[in-house]
Amino acid sequence: LTTATFLILFVIHKSGISPYKQYSNNIVESNIKDMKVNAISNPPTNLKETQSLIVQSLKSSVIDVLQSEMSLIMTKNDLEHFQSWKPNEIALDYLIERLKKTEMQLTTSTMLQTITLITIYDSFNGTSWENQEGWLDLGEECFWHGVQCNDDDVVTGIVLEQNKLVGNIPNEIGFLINLQILNLRKNEITGSLPSTMHMLKHLNHLILDSNQLEGYLPTRFPPNLQILALQSNKLTGTISHNLFLELVFLHLLNLSNNKFEGELPLSLGSSLLNSLVSIDISSNNLIGVMPETICAKRPSPLLHLRADCAGPNPKLQCNCCSNCVVELT
């Protein structure tokens, strides 16, 4: 009995996980106490087994912490996307090391923020980035390359433009609920735009142009968007009528050089979109006539309107565009 308890305490001490360290999370603290109790009923046979037991038990506690935090920041409908969610293993291992080896007080929201950033790093093959300064160091993430924070060390921006990112945008991006800027332009990002993007209620700059994104646009975007730049990708489908009904702060919309088809929605000229100054929908497969609701905004407030309306028989008719180009074949 005494030996088993001593072993647990010894490995906790050697691992840097003090049972008396005041983590902000009671779940982690109580888990360490549980490990000592379990040693009484099921004593470990050696130091290695004990160390493995501690790490696995701590991981389980951290997952409980993260899931608890998720339930606080997400709606019931959003939680359905993560019913069977488990954290990225590299991200979880990193967080455990950070808990073990630093004296930083990590709140549950900070844990989720850290897990999300490392998940992004792994999803985009971070080891091959042109600049990965600070990433995977145990220091505060606000000093990592491309990460911007406010005075409370909450992540508000990710700017990794032209940094050799390769891979898909993970669903976990929606966990960064205070994000205001996401700029990942000029990389090799593939896959579709995650449906969790709408969870970023404070996002005002979404700049993902010059990648290899595919698939349809999500049914909802963050409502506070001011800049939506998705040009030079491989996005397809029609542009939904409902897409712009909530984007009342939108200043700039660029969907050019994709594979969109069908007619433009009337909602793009909604009276609610009084801040819109630039629209570029050129180099797509759009057809029909530029809605009068859009033309009514020219030349003010809509200063710039570019479309495939040049040539002898353009598929998109527009008599109010500031710039007509020939449709690409």
**pLDDT tens digits for range 275-320:** 999 999 999 999 999 999 899 999 999 999 999 999 888 999 999 9
Q: What is the pLDDT of residue 4?
A: 41
Q: Is the pLDDT of residue 118 over 90?
A: yes
What b-and-e string marks burial along 30-65, b requiring 16 or more CB atoms within 10 Å of the CB? ebbeebeeebeeeebeeeeebbebbbeebbebbbeb
Q: What is the pLDDT of residue 65?
A: 83
CB 110 within 8 A of CB 153: yes
Query: In 3-state terms, what secondary structure has residue 119?
Result: helix
> What mean pLDDT comes out for the span 256-272?
88
Q: What is the pLDDT of residue 41?
A: 54
**Residue 274 — very low, low, confident or very high, per pLDDT cuts 50/70/90?**
confident
Tell me which amino acid residue 300 is: S
Cross-strand partners of 206: 182, 228
Q: What is the pLDDT of residue 270?
A: 78
Q: What percent of the chain has pLDDT over 70?
A: 81
Q: What is the pLDDT of residue 262?
A: 95
Q: Is the pLDDT of residue 190 over 70?
A: yes
**Residue 133 — very low, low, confident or very high, per pLDDT cuts 50/70/90?**
very high
CA atoms within 13 A on the CB side of 224: 12
SS (H, E, C) 62-91: HHHHHHHHHHHHCCHHHHHHHCCCCCCHHH
CB 54 within 8 A of CB 12: yes
Q: What is the pLDDT of residue 44?
A: 54
> pLDDT, tens digit, for every residue of 4-36?
444 444 444 444 444 333 344 444 455 545 554
Q: What is the pLDDT of residue 31?
A: 54
> pLDDT, tens digit, for every residue of 223-245?
999 999 999 999 999 998 888 88
> What mean pLDDT comes out for the span 240-261?
92
> pLDDT, tens digit, for every residue of 139-171?
889 999 999 999 999 999 999 999 999 999 999
CA atoms of 316 and 40, how far apart (whole Å): 76
Q: Is the pLDDT of residue 271 over 80?
A: no
Q: What is the pLDDT of residue 114?
A: 95
Q: What is the pLDDT of residue 151?
A: 96
Mean per-residue pLDDT over the chain, rounded: 85
> pLDDT, tens digit, for every residue of 69-84?
898 889 888 888 788 8
Q: What is the pLDDT of residue 93?
A: 92
